[in-house]
Amino acid sequence: MRTETERTAKKTEKEIEKLLGKMTLDEKIAMIHGAGLFRSGGVERLGIPGLATSDGPMGVRVEFMNDRWIPAGNNDDNVSYLPSNSALASTWNPYRAYEMGKVLGAEARGRGKDVILAPGINIKRSPLCGRNFEYMSEDPKLTATMTVPFVKGVQHNDVAACVKHFAANVQETDRLMVDEEIDERTLYELYFPAFKAAVQEGGAYSVMGAYNKVNGYHCCENKMLLDRVLRGEWGFDGAVISDWGGIHKTGEAAACSIDLEMSVYPDFDEYLLANPLKEAIEKGEISEEAVDEKVRHLLRLMFRLKMLGRHREERRTGAYNTPDHRQMILKTAEESMILLKNENHLLPLNAAKIKKLVVIGQNAAKIHSDGGGSAEIKALYEISPLMGLKCYLGGNVQVEYYKGYHVPEKPKIFDHNWQADSLDDLKGTDIGQLARNEEQMPGVHRRREEERLAQLKKDQAEIHEKNQALFAQAVTAAKDADAVIFVGGLNHDSDSEGIDRVDMKLPYEQDMLIEELLKVRKDLIVTFIGGSPVEMPWRDRAGAILWSYYAGMETGTAFAEILFGEVNPSGKLAETFPEKYEDCADAKNGQFGLWGRIKLEEGLYCGYRHFDRQRIKPAFCFGHGLSYTEFAYSGLTLKTEKNGEVRVTFTVKNTGRRIGADAVQIYVAPIGSRVDRPDKELKAYTKVELAPGKSRKVTLTLRREDFSYFDEALHDFVADAGDYEILVGASSGDIRLRGIATLA
Ligand code: BGC
């Protein structure tokens, strides 16, 4: 018996064919390329609208003019600023991911969008990648399990998630041309799983092809990625959208499964899937059937979004800037912040004992929502840590703020946008075909990168000079206060699309300032906002360290609540914080940030897989995060079912004095495997909230595939019979329970 959904799907397919049958070649072609910087063409005659797309993962981006990278100047495009995907992943709470997806979907619909270009789910291979803040984790399981609910949440609101960037978008250096050599097993075990889960379990309606090449071919023209894997093996029948300017050749793009060409240029008719495609079809070089297939995918997306068909009236209309959204954003921010260190219960601070609080560091007052590249937004508001502290403490507590270190100002350029520049040197040139001259592009980009590095050097001198007075002022102020909070870290001058970081150090001589402050204040509270790990050479001397990713419009509120114990921190690291960059796999093999070509020589051994194998102790390991209470785990039992599933049962107890939540992690470690495998891999986790003294029995199920690896010869995942150690831990470095499961 056929189900209702099957029947509806069949009807939809018929309607798609009917529409397609009525369309002229011109009309079909209009649908498969941009007709605006964020809009595709429609077919008015047949009532087919264009698709309205928008960035991005942290909120719906400002409204641009249709054909220029200049904000339209609207006053209704301020939006809720959501925690970045890196903050979201640190909650280790898939429910929060669902909520954030729902908020983003509602805001996108509220702003009249059909496709939201989010979430960003690439695996973090190097701590230096400029876009890490937009991505979730170094681990495929954590990424996949947070992505699926996020996608469902977005699409609940009749907006398509556009999961990006497929695949292995691991660096920004030479981002349009870099060719990444990656072996098949690494792709299947590390770089693919979250995308597979997004389309198969999350039901993502669209996927964005990445800028980079994988094994010789641009991702947006890559038959292996798009035809064989995404469509063939995973059965994806939604739409594949190019990254903006990610298509380079008409023939290649026509021949593979990319459906919509978007770009940064205003010459829409000259897009490679516009007039050049039409000419090639007319010459008989490309068949019209190639276009039909793309149109089918786009029409299917529209039916799913209720833009077409009988259910149009039922389409959700969304809403943005609602109090509800802000409340959910705050909850996520609270759960995302990570207490890295807390000696002698330095935190939480006791508000009743503070008459004068000194806050030092530019990130205390900095607004981050307006930067980072395409993820930038025009936030309705953003509560900085300083504002959060002032709001929390009220006017009767003296809160003094000192910049502490100097941040060189970057001039804001209003007449053109970095995004258009990012594909070509626009100044005074025709931005049509010239921009697609592949030979020329690396040269242009390289020059720009050299200029950036030279500027960084110049900045260094300015920073050093200005810091003398700022340091002295901060240190003096720090001596005379009831508590001192340092708020430093990174900002979108380095956590940004289009550039990679040059090192893993804190910029602006912050390390020097922290050292100075620690000399006068042993009780200094060191806090950070940033999008990727930094070295903390002074960390043995600091008593308390709190890390926050870009956590959205309520960052400051959550920050104050955590520091003053209103909220018990429960975030954990979704990526390793290495002691120094040289310890990382990509630093050791030198295959990061190169131009032209990189080989992912480390294979599966990135992140904690690498640190485990090389027995290198990171500063803070994957999965680490403290609470103001303590948890104890006990009573592990493992039960292997006939179908190969393993039931992992244990008890978690809150042994401290406060209510709190703990993300408990289960790793699988193969014993005596016949192939080389990582020492252990995260396969399940759950976040348990418990009142003091209370305990809960937790059962998690490991499926057979959680024991498997990808066998290149068989081109399939294989779970060998044998013994596997099951590790239950508070982090990857803090394993508390161990047992052995035997697979038949
Ligand atoms: C980015 C994408 C973004 C697109 C549209 C590109 O530069 O890589 O992530 O969605 O622009 O703004």
pLDDT digits (tens, 9 = 90+) for 480-524: 999 999 999 999 999 999 999 999 999 999 999 999 999 999 999
Q: Residue 682 in 3-state DSSP?
A: strand
Task: Summarize pLDDT for 332-341 with one digit per residue, the tens.
Answer: 999 999 999 9
CA quadruple 544, 546, 547, 551: dihedral, nearest 10? -170
Ligand 1 site-directed mutation target among 220, 374, 496, most atoms within 8 Å of CB? 374
Amino acid at 184: E
Ligand 1 site-directed mutation target among 219, 244, 417, 423, most atoms within 8 Å of CB? 244
What's the CA gap between 126 and 124, in Å, rounded? 6
What is residue 434's predicted lDDT score, i.e. its pLDDT?
39
421 has pLDDT over 70:
no
Hey, whose CA ends up nearest to atom 8 of ligand 1? 243
Give residues with Cβ within 8 angstroms of 630, minimum separation 6: 654, 655, 656
If you average pLDDT over residues 411-433, what whole number do you get? 52
What is residue 259's predicted lDDT score, i.e. its pLDDT?
98
HSE toward the beta carbon, residue 58, CA cutoff 13 A: 35
Give residues with Cβ within 8 angstroms of 157, minimum separation 6: 102, 105, 106, 108, 109, 316, 318
Q: Where are the alpha helices (DSSP H) in 422-546?
A: 440-479, 510-520
| Ligand 1 midpoint to CA 60 (Å) | 13
Task: Summarize pLDDT for 373-390 with one digit per residue, the tens.
Answer: 999 999 999 999 999 999
| Ligand 1 midpoint to CA 203 (Å) | 22
In ligand 1, which atom is closest to the CA atom of 162? 10
Give bridge partners of residue 561 from the DSSP assignment. none
What's the CA gap between 667 and 731, in Å, rounded? 10
| Ligand 1 midpoint to CA 244 (Å) | 6
Q: Ligand 1 pocket by C-beta < 6 Å: which residues?
A: 55-56, 117, 164, 243-244, 374, 419
Angstrom distances, CA of residue 720 to CA of 248, 383, 675, 715, 727? 43, 52, 10, 15, 18
Nearest to 350 by CA among 150, 531, 566, 170: 566
435 has pLDDT over 50:
no
Higher pLDDT, 153 or 417: 153
Hey, whose CA ends up nearest to atom 3 of ligand 1? 374
What is residue 695's predicted lDDT score, i.e. its pLDDT?
98
What's the CA gap between 507 and 652, in Å, rounded? 40
In ligand 1, which atom is closest to the CA atom of 134? 9
What is residue 441's predicted lDDT score, i.e. its pLDDT?
62
Task: Summarize pLDDT for 573-624 with one digit per residue, the tens.
Answer: 999 999 999 999 999 999 999 999 999 999 999 999 999 999 999 999 999 9
What's the CA gap between 278 and 122, in Å, rounded? 34
| Ligand 1 midpoint to CA 286 (Å) | 28
If you average pLDDT over residues 191-204, what whole number do you get? 98
Residue 303 is given by DSSP the state: H
Task: Summarize pLDDT for 315-362 with one digit per residue, the tens.
Answer: 999 999 999 999 999 999 999 999 999 999 999 999 999 999 999 999
Q: Residue 405 in 3-state DSSP?
A: coil
Hey, whose CA ends up nearest to atom 9 of ligand 1? 374
- Whether residue 369 contacts residue 81, with contact meaning beta carbons closer than 8 Å, is answered with yes
In ligand 1, which atom is closest to the CA atom of 164? 9
Give bridge partners of residue 218 from the DSSP assignment. 213
Ligand 1 site-directed mutation target among 51, 61, 219, 243, most atoms within 8 Å of CB? 243
Q: Round the average pLDDT of the chain to a whole number and report it.
A: 95
* Residue 409, Cβ density class (10 Å: 0-12 exposed, 13-18 middle, ≥19 buried): exposed
Ligand 1 site-directed mutation target among 55, 62, 166, most atoms within 8 Å of CB? 55
| Ligand 1 midpoint to CA 743 (Å) | 44
Hey, whose CA ends up nearest to atom 4 of ligand 1? 244
Q: How many CB atoms lie within 10 A of CB 651?
A: 16
| Ligand 1 midpoint to CA 53 (Å) | 11
Nearest to 75 by CA among 383, 417, 380, 418: 380
The answer regarding whether domain 631-743 maps to CATH 1.10.1740.10 reads no
| Ligand 1 midpoint to CA 115 (Å) | 13
| Ligand 1 midpoint to CA 285 (Å) | 31
In ligand 1, which atom is closest to the CA atom of 373? 7
Hey, whose CA ends up nearest to atom 5 of ligand 1? 244
pLDDT bucket at 428, cuts 50 / 70 / 90: very low
If you average pLDDT over residues 697-724, what whole number do you get? 97
What is residue 642's predicted lDDT score, i.e. its pLDDT?
87
Nearest to 425 by CA among 395, 396, 449: 449
Task: Summarize pLDDT for 545-564 with one digit per residue, the tens.
Answer: 999 999 999 999 999 999 99
If you average pLDDT over residues 117-128, what whole number do you get? 98
What's the CA gap between 242 and 732, in Å, rounded? 36
In ligand 1, which atom is closest to the CA atom of 498? 7
Q: Would you give the end-to-end CA distance of the chain in angstroms?
A: 35
426 has pLDDT over 60:
no
If you average pLDDT over residues 28-42, what whole number do you get? 98
What is residue 443's predicted lDDT score, i.e. its pLDDT?
72
Catalytic site positions: 243
432 has pLDDT over 50:
no
pLDDT bucket at 8, cuts 50 / 70 / 90: confident
Backbone angles phi, psi at 645, to 5 degrees: -75, 150
Q: Which residue has the tokens 């991005």?
A: 56
- Whether residue 260 contacts residue 241, with contact meaning beta carbons closer than 8 Å, is answered with yes
In ligand 1, which atom is closest to the CA atom of 120? 9
* Helix %, strand %, coil % of the chain (to 5): 35, 20, 45
- Whether residue 80 contacts residue 380, with contact meaning beta carbons closer than 8 Å, is answered with yes
If you average pLDDT over residues 215-237, what whole number do you get? 98
Percentage of residues in the chain having pLDDT higher than 70: 95
| Ligand 1 midpoint to CA 56 (Å) | 8
What's the CA gap between 740 and 670, in Å, rounded? 10
In ligand 1, which atom is closest to the CA atom of 419? 7
Nearest to 49 by CA among 102, 119, 118, 112: 112
Amino acid at 441: M
* Residue 478, Cβ density class (10 Å: 0-12 exposed, 13-18 middle, ≥19 buried): buried
Q: How many CB atoms lie within 10 A of CB 228?
A: 14
What's the CA gap between 534 and 526, in Å, rounded? 13
What is residue 408's predicted lDDT score, i.e. its pLDDT?
95
Hey, whose CA ends up nearest to atom 11 of ligand 1? 244
Hey, whose CA ends up nearest to atom 12 of ligand 1? 374
Amino acid at 135: Y
What is residue 265's predicted lDDT score, i.e. its pLDDT?
87
Q: Where are the alpha helices (DSSP H) in 507-630?
A: 510-520, 555-563, 585-589, 608-613
- Whether residue 190 contacts residue 141, with contact meaning beta carbons closer than 8 Å, is answered with no
CA quadruple 235, 189, 625, 667: dihedral positive or negative?
positive
700 token code pair: 């998690």
pLDDT bucket at 420, cuts 50 / 70 / 90: low
708 has pLDDT over 90:
yes
| Ligand 1 midpoint to CA 243 (Å) | 6
pLDDT bucket at 4, cuts 50 / 70 / 90: low
What is residue 629's predicted lDDT score, i.e. its pLDDT?
98
Residue 272 is given by DSSP the state: T
Ligand 1 site-directed mutation target among 53, 65, 117, 129, most atoms within 8 Å of CB? 117
In ligand 1, which atom is closest to the CA atom of 422? 7
| Ligand 1 midpoint to CA 400 (Å) | 40
128 token code pair: 């230096």
Q: Residue 612 in 3-state DSSP?
A: helix
CATH architecture observed for domain 12-314: Alpha-Beta Barrel (3.20)
- Whether residue 681 contacts residue 651, with contact meaning beta carbons closer than 8 Å, is answered with no
Hey, whose CA ends up nearest to atom 6 of ligand 1? 244
Residue 569 is given by DSSP the state: -
What's the CA gap between 616 and 490, in Å, rounded? 25
670 token code pair: 């193969």
Percentage of residues in the chain having pLDDT higher than 90: 91
In ligand 1, which atom is closest to the CA atom of 117? 10
List, as own/partner pairs, every contact residues 291-295 make where C-beta atoms lie below 8 angstroms and the sequence separation is at least 24, other chains included. 291/25, 291/28, 291/29, 291/32, 291/254, 292/20, 292/28, 293/257, 294/28, 294/31, 294/32, 294/258, 294/259, 294/260, 295/20, 295/23, 295/28, 295/31, 295/32, 295/259
If you average pLDDT over residues 35-45, what whole number do you get? 98
Domain boundaries, the chain: 12-314, 631-743
566 token code pair: 């209103």
59 token code pair: 């909120």
What is residue 235's predicted lDDT score, i.e. its pLDDT?
98
Q: Where are the alpha helices (DSSP H) in 205-322?
A: 223, 250-255, 275-282, 288-304
Residue 176 is given by DSSP the state: T
Ligand 1 site-directed mutation target among 85, 497, 499, most atoms within 8 Å of CB? 497
| Ligand 1 midpoint to CA 608 (Å) | 29
